Structure 1
Amino acid sequence: MDLKRRMQECDEFFRLPELAHLVPQRRRAALEQLEQTGGYLQTAEEILIGAKLAWRNHARCVGRKHWRSLKLLDARRVRSARDLAEVCWQHLQMATNGGAIQSMITVGPPRQPDGREFHIINSQLIRYAGYRNGDGTVIGDAANIRLTEFATELGWRGAGTPFDILPLLISTPDEPIQWFDIPPELAREVELEHPEFDWFAELGLRWHALPAVSNMNLEVGGMTYPLAPFNGWYLGAEIGARNLSDTNRYNMLPLIAEMMCLDTGSERNLWRDQALVELNRAVLYSFRRAGVYIVDHHTVAKQFCDHVKREEAEGRACPTDWTWINPPISSGLTPTFHRYYDPPDLDIRPNFVRRDFSGDGGI
C-alpha cells in the first residue's frame, strides 16, 4: 500500500464518529509521524475501536451484530516467536472462556516501513493435520495437507490420526519460522454424538471449540497488523455442513448415510441431504451438551437481519457478500436469503484483509 493511500486512510480514520472524542491534534500528529517515518504508534483504544469497526465492515461475516463485544489483547511489544506463541495461548484461554466463548483479537507488531512483518502461517490458531496416503486417500483434514507437509519439513511429527492438532507456525523478521505445539488443555475439543443414533459416537468425530482466524491482516488508520488472530464463535453449519461434509475436507456424508441405511443409489433419494441434517444436529447437540457456545444458522440469520436494520437506522451502509452470509444448509429457509444488501466494498477501512501467502510458499 503506498504512502498516499495510507495517509488518506489515517485521515479518514481519525474523522470517524467513534473517534470524535479525541482532540484534533491527535489526527495531525498521527499524519505527520506517518508521513515522516512511514508509521505511527496507535493507542490501544484506537486499535480496539479500529478492530471493532473492521469486524463491522467485513462483508463476509454473518455474526456482525456482536461487533461491539470484541476484546483486545495487545501484543505489539512482543518481538520473538516464542513470546508471540505464549500470547496466542493466552488468547485461546481467554477466548474459550470455559466454553462461554467471547470474541477477542490479539494484535502483534505492525508491518514495518521496510515491509518486514510478524505473522502466523496457519489459517486458524487451531487446525487439524491432513496426511496424503500413497493411494491418493487422505487421513485428516485435506484442506491442510500443504501446511502439514510444511510443518513436517520443519521437524514436527504428528501421530497420523484424523484429528491431530497442527502446531502453530510463526514467522518473524529476525528468526527462521518457528513451530510450537499447542498446549492440549488450551485446544478444547468437542467429541460429537447424536441425540438419537448411538452409533454416531463410534465414528470418532470431533471439532475444536474456538474458530480463531489468523491469516488476515488488520488494517486500521493507515497501519497494517499482519499478526492479528481474532475469533467469534462457531456457526454449527461451518462444522457440520462444510468442515466435516465437503468432499475436499472430511467427506463424512457417505459413511453417515451408510450407517443410517439410506439408499445412496440415486441422488434423487436426497440421501446426502438426510445425512447432512443429522450431522448438523449432532454438532449442535454435542456443543450444547459440552457447554460450549455455538449458534445455529436460523438464529444467526435472524441476528444478521436485525444488525442490517440497526445499521440502516444509524444511517450506515452494511456492505455484504450475499454468497458468504447465507448458510451452506437450508439457505432458503433463512431470512438472509430473501433480500438484497449493500454490495461488498473491498476498499472500506478499517477491515480484515486476506494476507498474501507468497512468502510462505503459497500455504
Structure 2
Amino acid sequence: MTPILDEARAFIEQCYQELNKSESDMMLRLQQIEDELKTEGTYTHTREELVHGAKMAWRNSNRCIGRLFWNSLNVFDARDASTEDEVFGALERHLDYASNNGRIRPTITIFRPSQRHQPDIRIWNHQLIRYAGYVEDGQYIGDPHSIAFTKKCEGFGWKGQGTHFDVLPFVVQIGDGPPQWKEIDLNLRLEVSLRHPEFDWFQDLGLKWYGVPIISDMELKIGGISYKAAPFNGWYMETEIGARNLADENRYNLLPKVASCMGLDMSRMATLWKDKALIELNIAVLHSFKEDGVSIVDHHTAAQQFRLFEENEKSADRDVTGDWTWLIPPVSPATTHIFHKEYDNTWNTTNYFYQDRPY
C-alpha cells in the first residue's frame, strides 16, 4: 500500500466505526478510494468524511486544552471556491457565523485540498483577525508578532492608521498568482474594549482585543489528504490574551505599564510585581469579555473541562495525546491537574499541522 492509502485506510476504518457505519459500507468505500488513488493519485472525501475528519483532527490536537467540545465543531465545506473573491466571501461568512454576536461558535472552513493540476489556495494571515505591528524610531507600535506580515500588506498597497490596534486585511494567494488582499468589514470585527472591575484607570489605557481567535495558517490533514487552507476557531481562554498577547515582552509587553499604574514596587523582582500585574490584566480580560457577552473561559474552568475530555476519551477507549508544555496554562499551572500529569506527545496523522509560510 502507498503511504496515502495507509493513512486513508486508518482514517476510514476509525471514522466509519465512530459513525456506526456497517462493515460492508466501509469495505465498499475503501475499494472506491483504492480505485481512485490508482487512477487519480488522490481521492475525494465525502462531506460526511470531511466533517467528521475535521472534528477528529481537533480531538487529536495535542496542544489544545479545549478539546472537550470537539464534536460541536461547525464545518463549512468551501472546496468549490476557486477564485480569490470566492475565498474572501467564505472567510467573511466564517467570521460572521463564528462571531455570532459574541456567543462564539467553534467553526472551520475547509478549502480545496492540494491536488495535481490545481493550484493551492493559501491564506497568508496567521489569524483572520490580527493587529498590525510597526517599528518607528526603534519603538514598537501594535503587535510585534505581525511586523513582517504588516510590511507585506503595506507592499500590496494596504495602509493602516498607525495605532496599536489596526486590523490587518485578508491576504489570499492561489497558486503562483499574485496575492490579493481585502479590508475586513468593520461589522465583522468583533472587538472587546478592556476595563477592570476595580481600577477605573484601566480603561484609560485604551486596550482592546478581538473576540474570535481564528487560526488560518495551519494545514489540516485527514486520511492522507492535505488541506493547506482551513481556518478554524474555538473561543479564547483568558490567559491567551492577558498572559501572552498583552503581557509577553516580545508582544505588547504591558506588565510594566499596568504595574506602574497599580503603584507597585518595581525596584526588585522579589516584590512579585509582575505576578500581581499579570493577575489583574487577566481579571480585566475576563471581566470585559463577560460584561460584553463574548464567550471566553478562565484557565481553571478550561482545565476542568480538559479533565472531563480525558474521562470521555477513556470511556471511548481512545488514548489522549498531549503536549504538556502547551496544555498547562501560563498562569498558576500548578493549581491544575494537568501540571501533575504526563502526556504522550505522539501526533496522530489526522490533525492540524504547522506549515511553511507562503511568503
Which interval holds the TM-score relative to the shorter structure?
over 0.9
**Which blocks of at least 5 consecutive residues in structure 1 are unaligned?**
none
Q: Given the alignment of the two structures, is residue 10 of structure 1 paired with residue 4 of structure 2, yes or no? A: no
Which stretch has the larger CA shift, 170-179 or 193-202?
A: 170-179
Alpha-carbon deviation of 1:36?
A: 2.1
Amino acid at match of 1:354: Y
Q: Given the alignment of the two structures, is residue 27 of structure 1 paired with residue 25 of structure 2, yes or no? A: no
Aligned residue in 2 for 1:158: 160
Aligned residue in 2 for 1:111: 114
**Deviating 4+ runs (over 2 angstroms):** 113-116
1:67 to 70, 78, 90: 70
Alpha-carbon deviation of 1:180?
A: 0.8
Aligned residue in 2 for 1:194: 196
Aligned residue in 2 for 1:268: 270
* 3-state SS of 1:131 partner: strand
2-structure distance, mates of 1:249, 1:174: 32
Aligned residue in 2 for 1:230: 232
Amino acid at match of 1:6: I
Deviations along 1:93-128, one digit per CA (max 9) or x if unpaired, are 101111110101000011122684101111111000
2-structure distance, mates of 1:267, 1:273: 10
1-structure distance, mates of 2:270, 2:92: 47
Contact 1:140 1:250 in 2 (8 A): yes
How many residues align? The count is 354
Deviations along 1:28-63, one digit per CA (max 9) or x if unpaired, are 111221232122221111101000000001100000
2-structure distance, mates of 1:4, 1:170: 32
* 3-state SS of 1:202 partner: helix
Mapping for residues 13-92 of structure 1, pairs under 5 Å: 13-16=11-14, 17-21=17-21, 23=25, 24-92=27-95
* 3-state SS of 1:175 partner: coil
1-structure distance, mates of 2:166, 2:37: 44
* 3-state SS of 1:345 partner: coil
2-structure distance, mates of 1:164, 1:233: 21
Mapping for residues 298-309 of structure 1, pairs under 5 Å: 298-309=300-311
Aligned residue in 2 for 1:170: 172
Alpha-carbon deviation of 1:4?
A: 2.3
Alpha-carbon deviation of 1:230?
A: 0.4
* 3-state SS of 1:207 partner: strand
2-structure distance, mates of 1:20, 1:27: 16
1:129 to 123, 129, 132: 132
* 3-state SS of 1:60 partner: coil
1-structure distance, mates of 2:62, 2:281: 28
* 3-state SS of 1:53 partner: helix
Contact 1:100 1:292 in 2 (8 A): yes
Alpha-carbon deviation of 1:18?
A: 2.1
2-structure distance, mates of 1:87, 1:174: 21
Deviations along 1:167-192, one digit per CA (max 9) or x if unpaired, are 11111126310111111110110000
Which stretch has the larger CA shift, 83-92 or 173-182?
A: 173-182
1-structure distance, mates of 2:60, 2:150: 32
Aligned residue in 1 for 2:356: 356
Contact 1:18 1:49 in 2 (8 A): no
Matched-pair identity in %: 44
Aligned residue in 2 for 1:101: 104
What TM-score do you get using the length of structure 1 for normalisation?
0.95
Mapping for residues 177-326 of structure 1, pairs under 5 Å: 177-326=179-328
Alpha-carbon deviation of 1:5?
A: 1.7
* 3-state SS of 2:69 partner: helix
Amino acid at match of 2:79: R
Alpha-carbon deviation of 1:150?
A: 0.7
Aligned residue in 1 for 2:346: 345
